[in-house]
Amino acid sequence: MPRSSCSSPPSPSAACSGARVARLAVLLLAVCGAGGSRPPAAPDLFDDIHARVRAAEATRQTIRARFTETTVSSLLVKPLISEGTLVGAKPASLSMTYTSPERRAIVMDGSRLAVTRPDAGTGDRFDVTRIMKRVNHYFVNATPQDLRKSFKVRAFVDPAAPDAYQIDLVPTRSQIREGLERLQIWIARDPLLLSQIRITFAGGDTTTVKLEDAEVNVTLPAGAFVVDSQPAVRGR
């Protein structure tokens, strides 16, 4: 029977998977620049990066990039590597189209998230309002000072990747640690754009998303982020 909303509760395993997908999508949205915050002063490297990235984001409305996603999990025999295309738009829209190893699509309109698997004829819908609210509070609308109240923050240039700044965020609040153990962000030094993000979930599983060939302020197709436009799919 088709499921077109999240009114029917998913199984516990589907809910857990959906929560991780939602966190990945929302965190990607936050660090890709589809949000904003107050410009801070810049007394150290992290504050300086934050201020300059926010200034650059003010001139950006959309983004399109190729991505490679690597998932490492205790449930997998070997890492799962997926590829596809990502597009995002302010204020809070994101679409990830996976082309390998299986076709899959994640579409978020700011309050709802749809995951579809056309080859399997399955999919799910999730309400991400609560996750969006928490990410907006702890990330999107946070100043460097705010972030330091919730995370141990370290910013540096990794000698192994000198073309990017690396920002390491380890949560200190138990509420955040329930779903997130560590967040690592790589920002290209030129043009100050996200190049990679690694999320370590509670329990140690990781998802790393690397962006390539990123373009900003591109024209995106109408309806790219309309969740209800996704094909009706059979629930699990």
pLDDT computed for residue 26 by the predictor: 65
Q: Is the pLDDT of residue 86 over 50?
A: yes
Is the model's pLDDT at 210 over the cut of 50? yes
pLDDT score for 37: 45
All domains in the chain, ordered by first residue: 2-231 (2.50.20.10)
Average pLDDT value for residue range 190-216 = 95
How far apart CA 23 and CA 132 sit, in angstroms, is 9
Is a pLDDT exceeding 50 seen at residue 133?
yes
Looking at residue 180, what is its pLDDT?
A: 92
Residue pLDDT, tens place only, 116-131: 998 888 889 999 999 8
Q: Once rounded to an integer, what is the mean pLDDT over residues 21-41?
A: 59
The alpha carbon dihedral of 9, 11, 13, 17 has a sign of negative
Looking at residue 34, what is its pLDDT?
45
Q: What is the average pLDDT score of the chain? A: 84
Task: Determine the average pLDDT of the residues in 206-221.
Answer: 96
Residue 110 pLDDT greater than 80, yes or no: yes
Note the pLDDT of residue 202: 93
Residue 11 has pLDDT above 90, yes or no: no
Give the model's pLDDT for residue 72: 97
Cα–Cα separations (whole angstroms), residue 35 to 44, 55, 92, 103, 126: 23, 12, 7, 28, 21
Res. 160 pLDDT band, cuts 50 70 90: confident
Under DSSP, the state recorded for 141 is T
Q: In the chain, what is the straight-line distance between the N-terminal and C-terminal CA atoms, in Å?
A: 9
In order of 21, 105, 182, 219, the CA distances from 215 in angstroms are 24, 20, 27, 10
Q: Give CA–CA dist 17/231, Å, rounded.
A: 20
Of the pLDDT bands very low, low, confident and very high (cuts 50, 70, 90), residue 13 is: very low
Averaged pLDDT, 205-230: 90
> Percent of the chain having pLDDT more than 90?
60
Task: Give me the mean pLDDT over the 91-116 stretch.
Answer: 94
Least confident of 73-77, 134-138, 197-201, 232-236: 232-236
Confidence of residue 17 (pLDDT cuts 50, 70, 90): low
- The HSE-up count of residue 213 (CA atoms within 13 Å, CB side) is 8
